[in-house]
Structure 1
Amino acid sequence: GIYRIRQQIAPIPGITLPLPYGGKPRQIMVDLDPQALLSKGISAADVSNAVNLQNLTLPSGTVKLGPQEYRVSLNSSPDAVAALNDLPVKYVNGAVVYVRDVGHVRDGFAVQTNIVRQDGRRSALLTVIKKGGASTLTIVKQLKELLPAIRASAPPGMEIKDLFDQSLFVRAAITGVLVEGAIAAFLTGLMILLFLGSWRSTLVVITSIPLSILTSLAILSAIGQTLNVMTLGGLALAVGILVDDATVEIENIHRNLGLGTRLVQAILDGAQQIATPAFVSTLSICIVFVPVVFLTGPAKYLFTPLAMAVVFAMLASYLLSRTIVPTLVRYLLGAETHGEGATAAGFFGRIHDAFQRRFERLRATYVRVLERALARRARVLAGFAVVVVSGLALLPFVGRDFFPTVDTGQFRLHVRAPAGTRIEETEQVFAEVEAAIRRIIPKNEIVSIIDNIGQPQSINLAFTDSVTLGPFDGEVLVSLNPEHHAPTARWTKTLRERLPREFPGVTFFFQPADIVSQILNFGLPAPIDVQVTGFNQQATHEIALDVAARMSRIPGAVDVHLHQVVNAPSLQVNVDRSRAAELGLTQRDVANSMLVSLSSSAIVSPNYWSDPRSGINYVVAVQTPQNRVDSVNSLMNTAVTPSGTGPSQLLSNLATLERREMAAVISHSNVQPVFDVYADVQGRDLGSVAAEVQKILTEYRGKLPPGHSIALRGQVQSMNSAFLRLGFGLIFAVLLVYLLMVVNFQSWLDPFIIITALPAGFAGIVWMLFVTHTTFSVPALMGAIMSVGVATANSILMVTFANDQMLEGRDSRAAALAAGATRLRPVLMTALAMIIGMLPMSLGLGEGGEQNAPLGRAVIGGLSVATFATLFLVPIIYSVLRRRPPRKDFLAEESSHA
Structure 2
Amino acid sequence: MNNLIAWFVRNSVAANLLMMMLIAGGLLALPNIHQEEFPTLDVDAVSVRVPYLGAAPAEVETGVCIRIEEAVEGTEGIDRITSEAAEGYCALTIELVRGVDKTKVANDIKSKVDAIDSFPAETEQPVTAEISFLATVLQIAVSGHADERTLKFIGQRMRDDIAALPGVSQVELQFARPYEISIEVSEQTLRRHGLTLEAIGQAIARSSLDIPGGSLKTRGGEILLRTKGQAYHGREFEDIVVLTRTDGTNVTLGEIATVIDGFEESDLQARYDGEPSVSLKVSRVGKEDIMAIATRVKDYLEQARREVPEGIAINIWQDESQDLVDRLDALSRNARSGLLLVLLVLTLFLRFRLATWVAAGIPVALLGAVAMFPLAGFSISTVSVMAFILVLGILVDDAIVVGERVYAHEQQGKGRAQAAIAGTQEVAIPVFFGVLTTMATFIPVVSIPGPMGGFYKPLGFTVMIALAFSIIESQFILPSHLAHRKAEKEPGDNALMDRWLALQGRISASLESAATRFYQPAVERALEWRYLTIAGGVVVLALTMSLFASGRMQFQFFPGVEGTHLYAAVTMPEGTPIEETARAVERLEDAVEVLRGELDAQLAPGEPSKVAHVFSTIGSFIPKGSIEMGSDRQSNIAEVGVELNLPRNYSGISTQTFANRWREITGSIPDAIELSYTSEAFGVGKAISFELYGRDFEELRSVAAELRIALQGYSGVLDVTDSFRAGKQEVQLTLLPEARNLGLTLDDLGRQVRQAFYGYEAQRIQRGKDDVRVMVRYPADERRSLGDLEGMRIRTADGTEVPFASVARASLARGYTTIRRIDGNRVVTVTANVDRALTTPEHVIGAIEEEVLPAVLATHPGVSYTLAGEAEERSESMASLQSTTLLALLVIYALLAIPLQSYLQPLVIMSVIPFGVVGAILGHLLLGRDLVFFSLLGIVALAGVVVNSSLVLVDFINKQRAAGVATQWAVSHAGTARFRPIILTSITTFVGLTPIMLDTTISTHIFRPMAISLGFGVLVGTVITLFLVPCLYMVLQDFKRDRVDTADTVGAGARDDTAGPLDGAAR
Superposition TM-score, scaled by structure 2 size = 0.78
Structure 2: runs of 5+ lacking an equivalent: 1-151, 601-608, 1041-1047
Seen in structure 2, the aligned counterparts of structure 1 residues 261 and 890 have a Cα distance that, compared at 3 Å, is farther
Structure 2 Cα separation of the partners of residues 269 and 609 of structure 1: 80
Does residue 825 (structure 1) correspond to residue 980 (structure 2)? The answer is: yes
Which residue of structure 2 lines up, in the alignment, with residue 751 of structure 1?
Answer: 906
Counterpart selection for 1:286 from 439, 449, 455:
439
Paired position in structure 1 for 2:387: 234
Is the CA contact 2:568–2:678 (under 8 Å) kept in the aligned structure 1? no
Matched, 1:536 2:701: no
Question: Which residue identity is paired with 2:540?
Answer: V
Work out whether 1:686 is the aligned partner of 2:846: no
Alpha-carbon displacement from aligned partner over 1:800-853 (angstroms, at most 9, x marks no partner): 111000011112221122321111111011111111111122224334211111
Aligned positions of 1:76-115 closer than 5 A: 76-78=229-231, 81-90=234-243, 96-115=250-269
Residue 671 of structure 1 deviates from its aligned partner by 2.1
**Structure 2: distance between partners of 1:713 and 1:142:** 40
The equivalent residue for 2:295 is 141
Report deviation, 1:542: 1.3
Amino acid at match of 1:859: L
Q: Which amino acid aligns with 1:38?
A: R
The question of 1:351 aligning with 2:503 is answered yes
Greater CA drift, 104-113 or 830-839 = 104-113
1:445 to 2:445 alignment: no
Single out whichever of 667-676 and 752-761 deviates more from structure 2.
667-676
Q: How far 1:700 moved relative to its partner?
A: 4.3
| SS state at 1:404 partner | coil
1:660 alignment partner, one of 804, 813, 817: 813
SS of the residue corresponding to residue 389 of structure 2 reads helix
Aligned equivalents of 1:120 and 1:169: distance in 2? 25
In 2 relative to 1, CA 699–897 (structure 1 residues): closer, same or farther, beyond 3 Å? closer
Moved more, 823-832 or 138-147: 138-147
How far apart are the structure 2 equivalents of 1:468 and 1:26? Answer: 16
Cross-structure match for 1:626 = 780
Which digits, 9 at most, give the CA deviation of each residue in 1:564-623, with x for residues without a partner? 211x4425143434333444543333333333333334xx5652164xxx5765332333
Instruction: Give the structure 1 partner of residue 888 of structure 2.
Output: 733
Aligned to 2:662, which of 495, 498, 501?
A: 495
Partner of 2:370: 217
> In the TM superposition, what whole-angstrom CA distance separates every residue of 1:510-540 from its partner, at most 9, and x where no partner exists?
36654531xx22xxxx232212222221122
The answer to whether the Cα contact below 8 Å between 1:534 and 1:672 also exists between their aligned partners in 2 is yes
Measured after TM superposition, the shift of residue 37 of structure 1 is: 2.4
User: What TM-score, normalized to structure 1?
Assistant: 0.91
Q: Which amino acid aligns with 2:818?
A: V
* Structure 1 contact 554–692 (Cα < 8 Å) conserved: no
Q: Which moved more, 1:167-176 or 1:51-60?
A: 51-60
Tell me how far apart the structure 2 counterparts of residues 337 and 841 of structure 1 sit (CA, whole Å): 38
- Is 1:808 matched up with 2:963? yes
The answer to whether the Cα contact below 8 Å between 1:9 and 1:146 also exists between their aligned partners in 2 is yes
SS in 1 for 2:567: strand
For 1:651 and 1:462, the matched residues in 2 are separated by 48
For 1:305, the aligned partner's letter is: P
Conserved? CA contact 1:500–1:507, under 8 Å:
no
Deviations 1:122-177 (A, max 9, x none): 21122223334333323322322332454456456533221111111111111111
The verdict on how the C-alpha distance between 1:737 and 1:677 changes in structure 2, with shifts beyond 3 A counting, is: same
The answer to whether the 8 A contact 2:699-2:863 is kept is: no
Secondary structure of the equivalent of 1:42? coil
Q: Distance in 2 between matches of 1:650 and 1:462?
A: 52
Aligned in 2, Cα 1:153/1:469: closer, same or farther, shift over 3 Å?
A: closer
Q: Give the corresponding residue for 1:360.
A: 512
SS at match of 1:418: coil
Give yes or no for contact 1:547–1:696 (8 Å, CA) kept in 2.
no
Letter in 2 for 1:750: Q
Q: Following TM superposition, by how much is the alpha carbon of 1:558 offset from its aligned partner in structure 2, in angstroms? A: 1.3
Partner of 2:50: none
Distance 1:674 1:318, change over 3 A: same
Which deviates more from structure 2 when the two are superposed, residues 655-664 or residues 418-427?
Answer: 655-664
Kindly report which structure 2 residues correspond to 1:548-627, keeping only aligned pairs within 5 A, or say none: 548-566=708-726, 568-601=727-760, 604=761, 606-608=763-765, 610=767, 618-627=772-781
RMSD of equivalent CA atoms? 3.0
User: What are the equivalent positions in structure 2 for 1:311-460 lying under 5 Å apart?
Assistant: 311-336=464-489, 345-364=497-516, 365-396=518-549, 397=551, 398-441=553-596, 442=599, 444-455=609-620
Distance 1:843 1:651 in 2: 75
Q: Which has the larger displacement, 830-839 or 875-884?
A: 875-884
Residues 721-758 of structure 1: CA deviation (Å, up to 9, x unaligned)? 21121122112211110111111100012111111211
Structure 1 residues not aligned, in runs of 5+: none
Greater mean alpha carbon deviation, residues 659-668 or residues 553-562: 659-668
Could you tell me whether the CA contact under 8 Å between 1:21 and 1:116 is conserved in 2?
Answer: no
Pair 1:895 & 2:1063 matched: yes
Q: Does residue 636 of structure 2 align to residue 476 of structure 1?
A: no
CA distance in structure 2 between the partners assigned to 1:463 and 1:156 by the alignment? 33
CA distance in 2, matches of 1:650, 1:512: 53
Question: Larger relative contact order (C-alpha < 8 A, sep ≥ 6)?
Answer: 1
CA contact (8 A) 2:388 2:463 kept: yes
The CA distance in 2 between the partners of 1:870 and 1:393, in whole Å, is 21
Q: Is 2:959–2:1062's contact at 8 Å kept on the other side of the alignment?
A: no
Provide the C-alpha distance between the structure 2 equivalents of 1:387 and 1:325, rounded to a whole number of angstroms: 41
Distance of 1:462 and 1:600 partners within structure 2:
34
Higher strand share: 2
| Cα pair distance change 1:48/1:694, threshold 3 Å | farther
- Provide, for residues 457-497 of structure 1, a one-character-per-residue CA deviation record: whole Å limited to 9, x for no partner: 9x999952769872111222221112277422112223344
Q: What amino acid maps onto 2:643 in structure 1? A: S
Instruction: Measure, in 2, the Cα distance between the counterparts of 1:462 and 1:233.
Output: 23
Matched, 1:636 2:802: no
SS of residue paired to 1:20: strand
Give the match's secondary structure for 1:680: strand
> What is the DSSP-based 3-state SS (H/G/I as helix, E as strand, rest coil) of the residue aligned with 1:399?
coil
Note closer, same or farther for the CA distance 1:347–1:34 as it changes in structure 2 (3 Å cut). farther
In 2: Cα distance, 1:349 partner to 1:743 partner: 41
Hey, what's the Cα distance between the residues in 2 that align with 1:889 and 1:782?
Answer: 35
- DSSP 3-state at the match of 1:164: strand
How much identity, in percent, do the aligned residues show? 23
Partners in 2 of 1:742 and 1:889 — Cα distance?
Answer: 12
Match in the other structure for 2:331: 177
Residue in 2 aligned with 1:63?
216
SS class of match (2:258): strand
Aligned-partner Cα distance in 2 for 1:401–1:310:
25
Contact 1:88 1:96 in 2 (8 A): yes
Amino acid at match of 1:769: H
The residue matched to 2:944 in structure 1 has which SS?
helix
AA at the equivalent of 1:347: R
Q: Aligned pair in 2 of structure 1 residues 800, 337: CA closer, same or farther (>3 Å)?
A: farther
8 Å CA contact 2:692, 2:866 repeated in 1: yes
Instruction: Count matched residues.
Output: 879
CA contact (8 A) 2:341 2:992 kept: yes
Change (3 A) 1:649 1:130: farther
What's the offset of the Cα at 1:694? 2.0
Moved more, 296-305 or 425-434: 425-434
Please give the per-residue CA displacement for 1:632-681, whole angstroms capped at 9, x wherever unaligned: 32343344445x55144443443344443332222222222221111111
Change (3 A) 1:700 1:87: farther
Between 788-797 and 81-90, report the one with greater CA deviation: 81-90
Letter in 1 for 2:881: L
Question: 2:6 — aligned with what?
Answer: none
Contact persistence 1:120–1:431 (CA under 8 A): no
